[in-house]
Structure 1
Amino acid sequence: MALGRLLHGDPQATTPGITIGPARAYEALGTLFFGGRRRRVFSGLVALSGARPGDRVLDVGCGPGYLTRLVAAAVAPDGSTVGIDPSPTVIEYARRKNRNAHCSFALGTAEALDARDGSFDVVVSSLMLHHLPAKLQPTALGEMFRVLRPGGRLLVADFRPPRSRIGRHLVGALAGPAMEHNPVNLLDGLIGEAGFTVHARGDIHPWLRYVQASRPEASASDAAGAAR
């Protein structure tokens, strides 16, 4: 299906996951997909992430960088935001669109993040997790946990299939089974099993389910061990 190829493009050698299709077409589709509410929806995700001026933020599976750029504006003037994606063409597009000196984009995979332990205050990820095989999703969330500092905040948002059978079949026909059967009800459990403390979850009209979480603060014994 043509739409399915835009949402889930060709595999990359760097990851077993599926990347998105042509960046420009994906951007146009995103505008249509959210029915004119795209900026409001993604601005809502920025607010839910808790990103504040001065924060270091990582956007995992950033695609063309729409959310990355909004987060970068929220952490200005002293913060920084990095978006990573496995698709070279998507990253090239995101770099061309970017006008913020404190926002950058790099090739990378969710299951093997090229970042130091505890190097970010906030990690966000939107419409990415369903691109990964189920067996790699815990690995990706474990990597997000690793690169967050203790007390750091996580926001994951993913596609919520329609509740009606007809709606799900329509999504499947247009975009494929990854979106038709996306098990967003499992997000809480996956995130909790990765070590995060889940604080809130909910739906954002029309298509998203989100989970807010944080990496627990280091205990006194952990801090003492790290100092030795």
Structure 2
Amino acid sequence: MELARFLHGSADTRTGGQTLTHGRAYEAFGTVFFGGRRRRVFTDLARLSGARPGDRALDVGCGTGYLTLHLADAVTPAGSVVGVDPSPDVLAHARRRAHAHAHCTFTDGIAEDLPFPDGAFDIVASSLMVHHLPEDVRAGALAQMHRVLRPGGRLLLADFRPPTHPAARHLVGAVTGPVMEHNPVHLLEPLAREAGFTDLDRGDLHPWIHYVRAVKPVSGR
């Protein structure tokens, strides 16, 4: 199987985007791709999300549930976390991994039509998902994240940051495909701002992650 197709999955007829398949193999690749730093990076992402004990958290495009379980650790003992993804294969893998976490659940859904009521969550997070979405639905996905957050709730977006060196960037493209080679992570912040989020800040986590944090204002849209 071509590695780029493996990483970005098959076409999702509901969105026109990509749906991950082969959850177990994707987990193995993630371990190698982060060069032994994957656990530290996702522990840092859970911390950066602001998730605290008792919070209700949502992981959008949760895939195999790696970030979801880190969020689950952050919101225990009284909180809860839901992972949502359109892929039955990766959701099955995520549920197997989370069997000991009673407060961690997974459900089918797409980012641009989240199956939750307004203001249902204190935290909405998403990692390595936005680049799977067609460009014309990304604003809709951010609008949905804004909708399901309570006023004052916190957003964390994290996605793949291509290398700055042209040769390294080309190598990434050769291995993973053009989506990751040219991933425009600089657009995450304007997407969040246009969706109505405020108090934005951004940063990088070595080796591959760019993140944006934001808040849904207490008053306003």
Question: TM-score category by the smaller chain?
Answer: over 0.9
CA distance in 1, matches of 2:159, 2:129: 7
Letter of the structure 1 residue corresponding to residue 11 of structure 2? P
User: Normalised by the size of structure 1, how large is the TM-score?
Assistant: 0.94
CA distance in 2, matches of 1:198, 1:136: 23
CA distance in 2, matches of 1:34, 1:25: 15
Contact 2:189/2:200, CA 8 A, preserved across alignment: no
**1:69 aligns to what SS in structure 2?**
helix
* Alignment correspondent of 2:168: 167
Contact 1:18/1:132, CA 8 A, preserved across alignment: yes
**2:202 aligns to what SS in structure 1?**
strand
CA distance in 2, matches of 1:118, 1:163: 38
* Alignment correspondent of 1:2: 2
Stretches of structure 1 that go unaligned for 5 or more consecutive residues are 223-228
Contact 1:157/1:208, CA 8 A, preserved across alignment: yes
**1:206 aligns to what SS in structure 2?**
coil
* Alignment correspondent of 2:150: 149
Q: CA deviation at 1:14?
A: 2.9
Range that drifts further, 194-203 or 109-118: 194-203
Equivalent positions of 1:144-223 (< 5 A) are 144-218=145-219
Stretches of structure 2 that go unaligned for 5 or more consecutive residues are none
**2:62 aligns to what SS in structure 1?**
coil
CA distance in 2, matches of 1:192, 1:184: 14
CA distance in 1, matches of 2:105, 2:15: 21
Q: CA deviation at 1:5?
A: 1.9
Q: CA deviation at 1:86?
A: 0.5
Task: Kindly report structure 1 stretches of 4+ aligned residues shifted beyond 4 Å.
Answer: none
Range that drifts further, 179-188 or 8-17: 8-17
Seq. identity, %:
61
Which whole-Å deviations, capped at 9, do the CAs of 1:134-173 have from their partners, x for residues lacking one? 1110000000000000000000000000101111111111
Letter of the structure 2 residue corresponding to residue 15 of structure 1? T
* Alignment correspondent of 1:64: 64
* Alignment correspondent of 1:91: 91
* Alignment correspondent of 1:75: 75
CA distance in 2, matches of 1:103, 1:78: 11
Letter of the structure 2 residue corresponding to residue 127 of structure 1? L
**2:16 aligns to what SS in structure 1?**
strand
* Alignment correspondent of 2:132: 131
CA distance in 2, matches of 1:72, 1:6: 27
Which whole-Å deviations, capped at 9, do the CAs of 1:35-77 have from their partners, x for residues lacking one? 0011000000000000000000000000000110110111011
CA distance in 2, matches of 1:19, 1:214: 28
CA distance in 1, matches of 2:25, 2:145: 28
Letter of the structure 2 residue corresponding to residue 12 of structure 1? D
CA distance in 2, matches of 1:151, 1:17: 30
CA distance in 2, matches of 1:200, 1:157: 12
Q: Does 1:52 align with 2:19?
A: no
**2:123 aligns to what SS in structure 1?**
strand
CA distance in 1, matches of 2:192, 2:103: 28
CA distance in 1, matches of 2:62, 2:184: 21
Letter of the structure 1 residue corresponding to residue 128 of structure 2? L
What is the aligned length?
A: 220
User: Normalised by the size of structure 2, how large is the TM-score?
Assistant: 0.97
Pick the structure with greater CA Rg. Answer: 1
* Alignment correspondent of 2:16: 16
